[in-house]
Amino acid sequence: MNMTRVMQIAQTHQLWVIEDCAQATGAMWDGKTVGSIGHLGCFSFYPTKNLGACGDAGAITTSNPALAAQLRKLRDHGQRQRYVYEEIGINSRLDAIQAVVLLTKLRYLNSWNAQRQAIADRYEQWLAAMPVVRPSWVEGGQSVWNQYTIRVVSPSGEANPDRPAAFRDHLRQQLQQQGVGTMVYYPVPLHLQPVYQSLGFGVGQFPVAEQVAHEVVSLPMFPELPPDQQKQVVYALKEALG
Ligand SMILES: Cc1ncc(COP(=O)(O)O)c(C=O)c1O
């Protein structure tokens, strides 16, 4: 994402920019760490994230003191002073045990992210000749590869209208049989989620999002993935794709 452009648009139209950095702890844009570019940056420390706690945790960054004070209040039941509730807040305090885990792991974040980059570089090289769509990125950005997600389509190019994800799902089964775990992030686009049905959107209204949801599959990606095991993933994929 070209964040320079996003910030220009926001400035022109006087918009707030909230960066969703959940999968991007340590990522950079134009020399700046994500979470320091917009007005607010939201980080997830869910265990599968690049910086993961031993349970649920998260953080919000801002350089705006008024926003920081408001968020501190909201996360603690709306109180600034103990037992004086100025507004309805939530309980979203970071647990001290999680903070200890995160502070310890933070020391390793850059080296883990570098290992993820090396894995992504190998995937880029090893998948180059395969009939899959590899991830793309914008010049100036530095990803931290929380996921390495490819897109796959049936060689005939025809999708089964009744089961549009059939090719991808079959491929996943074949990989699973070879001991390769994969995931789909995410199978149902936002406009088709039950919670948003009241907005009145239906199938066919966001065709790109729907198509991508049927084609994406995320390959194994974690800092400790050794090259020989990664090679097995690539061989299994090659075999499954025929
Ligand atoms: C892009 C993105 N945003 C937000 C979230 C939500 O994070 P959390 O569950 O820690 O609130 C996630 C978690 O998967 C995510 O991947």
Could you list the pLDDT tens digit for every one of the 242 residues in the chain? 899 999 999 999 999 999 999 999 999 999 999 999 999 999 999 999 999 999 999 999 999 999 999 999 999 999 999 999 999 999 999 999 999 999 999 999 999 999 999 999 999 999 999 999 999 989 999 999 999 999 999 887 777 778 889 999 999 999 999 999 999 999 999 999 999 999 999 999 999 999 999 999 999 999 999 999 999 999 999 999 98
- Residue 16's alpha-carbon distances to 6, 47, 224, in angstroms, are 10, 29, 38
User: For residue 20, how far is its CA from the centre of ligand 1 (angstroms)?
Assistant: 8
Q: Are 215 and 166 in contact (CB under 8 A)?
A: no
Domain boundary among 54, 77, 106: 106
Which residue has the CA at smallest separation from atom 3 of ligand 1?
Answer: 22
Report how far ligand 1's centroid is from the alpha carbon of 32 (Å).
21
Q: Which residue segment(s) compose the domain that 171 sits in?
A: 109-241
Residue 108: how many CB atoms within 10 A of its CB? Answer: 12
Tokens 């970071």 locate to: 94
Number of domains in the chain: 2
* 46 Cα–ligand 1 center, Å: 8
Task: Output the pTM of the full model.
Answer: 0.94
Both 70 and 126 in one domain: the answer is: no
Question: Which of 57, 83, 106 delimits the end of a domain?
Answer: 106
Domain containing 149 — which CATH number? 3.90.1150.10
Looking at residue 155, what is its pLDDT?
A: 80
Domain boundary among 79, 106, 133: 106
| Shared-domain flag, residues 97 and 83 | yes
Q: Domain check: are 8 and 51 in the same one?
A: yes
Counting ligand 1 atoms within 8 A of each CB, the residue from 1, 21, 43, 44 with the most, and so the one to mutate, is 44
Any residues with Cβ below 6 Å from ligand 1, and which?
Answer: 20, 22-23, 44, 46, 58
User: How high is the pLDDT of residue 17?
Assistant: 98
How confident is the model at residue 156, as a pLDDT? 77
Task: Calculate the dihedral angle through the C-alpha atoms of 221, 226, 230, 232, rounding to the nearest 10 degrees.
Answer: -140
Which residue from 23, 54, 56 has its CB within 8 A of the most atoms of ligand 1, so it is best to mutate? Answer: 23
42 and 26 part of one domain? yes
* Closest C-alpha residue for ligand 1 atom 10: 44
Please give the number of the atom of ligand 1 that sits closest to the Cα of 46.
10
